[in-house]
Structure 1
Amino acid sequence: MGERRVVVVGYEAAELLEIASVTSTLIAANFHSRRPEYAVSLATPGGRPITTASGLVLQAQETLEQVVGPLDTLVVAGGIGHLDAVSNRLLIAHVRRLARESRRVASVCTGAEILATAGLLDGRRATTHWQWASTLAFNHPRVAVDPAPIFIRDGNVSTSAGVTSALDLTLAFVEEDLGPELARAVARVLVTYLQRPGNQAQMSMFTDAPPPADTLVRRIVDHVAANLREDLSAAALAASAGVSERHLTRLFLKHLGESPGRYVRRARVEAAANLLATTSLPMSAIAARCGLGTAETLRQAFTDRYGVAPSHYRRTQSAQASA
């Protein structure tokens, strides 16, 4: 087949890294295929240069209003400028028009807000950067917003999380179009993971900010992180805190949005993910160190959380795999 025509929609204060993650990945695919697989262009309102969120200026190759399909893929970038872009009725209308003329439609980060405003996410599951997920859900109640995955594909419409998740989504497109071997070659050139699973969680709870505002909850959370292999049942945690199980559960639901049991399970699985990616410890040792007991319990809990087996996660996410 001929070149796949890909148009990336940008606007004032769009995020440069989100645009470049898409375009650079596809151009790298062209290089490794040794033929022009993708014809990639940046389209902006009026065809004007845009000053990205980082302050650098990008020159457009196409005028958004003049782009005519058919297109293989339409990608809408995110960035702080999306707050103004969703109010640009012409931009929204042309995104809606081009989506009808595209085989595949995608957004990066807060570009999901633009797709949603155009009505393209109604009745679909979608994701966006975790910081903006609640806003997307509030503004667009007909969209089933899931803030956890790196990207979601629902039919021919894909949405991805913040910034570098554009790499993961675009690598998934390359693998779909050109096969896993070429996708692996592109990932090596970009010095990135082959491909993080789309349903991998966006962020670790151990880097999440801010910590719980409640002093008691914060103390218990610190205790959990430092004692994963110990008894962390609700009864044990309540006894440690000097409160009833019922009261502890109320505090966790209020400040963390989940019960003590679910929080502990998540803490253990995320700790296991870190050990899988950074050590060569056997599964049984990781399970014991994280308080999950057996390798089979680790496998079940890990698959529930990430949607992939621990062995797959280690193959694709370890330092050795990305070398």
Structure 2
Amino acid sequence: MHRIVIVAFDGVQSIDVAGPAEVFAGVNTLLGSTGLERLGYDVTIVSMDGGVVSTESAVRLATQSFDSVQGRIDTLVVAGGFSVWRHRDDEEFVEALGRLVGRCGRLVTICSGAALAAATGALDGHRVTTHWARAERLADAHPELTVDADPIFVHSPSPHADRPDVWSSAGVTAGIDLCLAIVELDHSTDIAQEVGRWLVMYLRRPGGQSQFASPTWIRQAPAGPIRVAQAAVIDDPGADHRVVRLAGRVAMSERNFVRRFTEEVGLPPAKFVARVRIDAARHELERSDDNVAAIARRCGFGTAETLRRSLHRHLGVGPEEYRRRFAHPPSQTVRRKATPA
């Protein structure tokens, strides 16, 4: 069986451990039903000294020690959590983790687990991602890395035969997307899709999709003229939202509007409009049968080609591919049977 070792520690984020473990367990269940369990995954959760470790939440994990892991490791998964920077300062921990890395064929980091793996030197020269809120700190600590805060996961092949390929993911659920991509590589698209369905991951995302693909990541301005402008864009993404129009709508000069908008939202107006339009197009592609040209016009892109370029730039996929992966019918209301009086 393919041997997987997941590294945990006190203060680890529980889903960074449980998410990957559930994906690989799902593969084992699926293969077991066909008599091919020998082709599945042997998963072990380890910590420095073994025993029970406490996570960021109320969950506690039973683990084996680093030293109990002997021989070759096919895939080493390093989880994340707010305590990673404390563990980075523990030389004994970093050295022991480095020895595990030295025996693995594939290195996976989940969220801020990239900071732990980077402390061993295993990520040197690689392009990696991590949670957007922790990317700047990782880049400052390790200028030898290329830290890309945008994609949900990155695969960086090793240029050296004696060093592992590196897979890194953004926060929380992105680790599940990464592990499903690994399952697809190890087994097949069908198996990855089936496991994803079991986990109700009906929007399985490609690695190039942005961490910032939804306006839910965009700060809302305080009550006032900038929030009014934000609402106007969200209510009608396809309208004319040039700066001169938005500034006039809220009776501000263009210069003052751009300055205030950028301060209060964290984005210039043009980038905010682009993100809202991308999200509107995603919603239409997921739920509408209209052609791409019609959706482009309705969402403010003008032409299908402009929408296509924008989706590639922001999400890493074109509209046809996005629709193929993510289209689903409108949700249906479940009606309860009336209770007799």
Contact 1:69–1:102 under 8 Å retained in 2:
no
1:188-208 CA-partner distances (Å, limit 9, x unpaired): 222213731111122444212
The equivalent of 2:160 in structure 1 is none
AA at the equivalent of 2:56? A
* Cα distance between partner residues in 2 of 1:238 and 1:199: 34
CA shift in 2, pair 1:204/1:218, >3 Å: farther
* Cα distance between partner residues in 2 of 1:269 and 1:54: 34
Does 2:116 match 1:107? no
For the residue of structure 2 that corresponds to 1:262, the secondary structure is: helix
1:255-276 CA-partner distances (Å, limit 9, x unpaired): 5554432332222112211222
1:43-81 CA-partner distances (Å, limit 9, x unpaired): 111112112222122111x31134234211100011233
For the residue of structure 1 that corresponds to 2:216, the secondary structure is: coil
AA at the equivalent of 2:230? V
Does 2:57 match 1:54? yes
Residue of 78, 81, 100 corresponding to 1:79: 81
The equivalent of 1:19 in structure 2 is 17
The equivalent of 1:121 in structure 2 is 123
Measure how far apart 1:14 and its partner are: 1.2
Measure how far apart 1:247 and its partner are: 4.0
The equivalent of 1:64 in structure 2 is 66
Q: Work out which of the two has the higher radius of gyration on C-alpha atoms and give 1 or 2.
A: 2
1:74-105 CA-partner distances (Å, limit 9, x unpaired): 00011233243222222211222222221110
Measure how far apart 1:305 and its partner are: 1.2
* Cα distance between partner residues in 2 of 1:194 and 1:186: 12
The equivalent of 1:225 in structure 2 is 234
**What's the % identity of the aligned pairs?**
35
The equivalent of 2:42 in structure 1 is 39
For the residue of structure 2 that corresponds to 1:104, the secondary structure is: strand
Please identify, of 153-162 and 278-287, the stretch whose mean Cα deviation from structure 2 is larger: 278-287
Measure how far apart 1:253 and its partner are: 4.6
* Cα distance between partner residues in 2 of 1:85 and 1:18: 16
The equivalent of 1:135 in structure 2 is 137
TM-score of the aligned structures, taking structure 1 as reference length: 0.89
1:196-207 residue pairs with structure 2 within 5 A?
Answer: 196-207=205-216
* Cα distance between partner residues in 2 of 1:189 and 1:246: 51
Measure how far apart 1:236 and its partner are: 2.0
The equivalent of 2:338 in structure 1 is none
* Cα distance between partner residues in 2 of 1:63 and 1:102: 16
AA at the equivalent of 2:168? T
Contact 2:213–2:315 under 8 Å retained in 1:
no
* Cα distance between partner residues in 2 of 1:171 and 1:321: 25
1:1-323 residue pairs with structure 2 within 5 A?
Answer: 3-33=1-31, 34-36=36-38, 37-60=40-63, 62-155=64-157, 156-193=165-202, 195-208=204-217, 210-212=219-221, 215-256=224-265, 258-320=267-329
Measure how far apart 1:244 and its partner are: 4.1
For the residue of structure 2 that corresponds to 1:141, the secondary structure is: coil
For the residue of structure 2 that corresponds to 1:11, the secondary structure is: coil
Please identify, of 156-165 and 31-40, the stretch whose mean Cα deviation from structure 2 is larger: 31-40
AA at the equivalent of 1:43? V
* Cα distance between partner residues in 2 of 1:305 and 1:291: 16
Please give the root-mean-square deviation of Cα atoms over the aligned residues, in Å.
2.4
Contact 1:64–1:94 under 8 Å retained in 2:
yes
Contact 1:106–1:157 under 8 Å retained in 2:
yes
1:118-154 CA-partner distances (Å, limit 9, x unpaired): 2233332222122222332333333322222111111
Contact 1:188–1:194 under 8 Å retained in 2:
no
Measure how far apart 1:9 and its partner are: 0.1
AA at the equivalent of 1:57? R
Please identify, of 129-138 and 167-176, the stretch whose mean Cα deviation from structure 2 is larger: 129-138
* Cα distance between partner residues in 2 of 1:11 and 1:81: 8
Measure how far apart 1:165 and its partner are: 1.1
Measure how far apart 1:42 and its partner are: 0.3
* Cα distance between partner residues in 2 of 1:94 and 1:216: 55
AA at the equivalent of 2:48? P
Contact 1:69–1:98 under 8 Å retained in 2:
no
AA at the equivalent of 1:52? T
CA shift in 2, pair 1:120/1:174, >3 Å: same
* Cα distance between partner residues in 1 of 2:132 and 2:3: 30
Please identify, of 293-302 and 7-16, the stretch whose mean Cα deviation from structure 2 is larger: 293-302
For the residue of structure 2 that corresponds to 1:7, the secondary structure is: strand
* Cα distance between partner residues in 2 of 1:212 and 1:146: 27
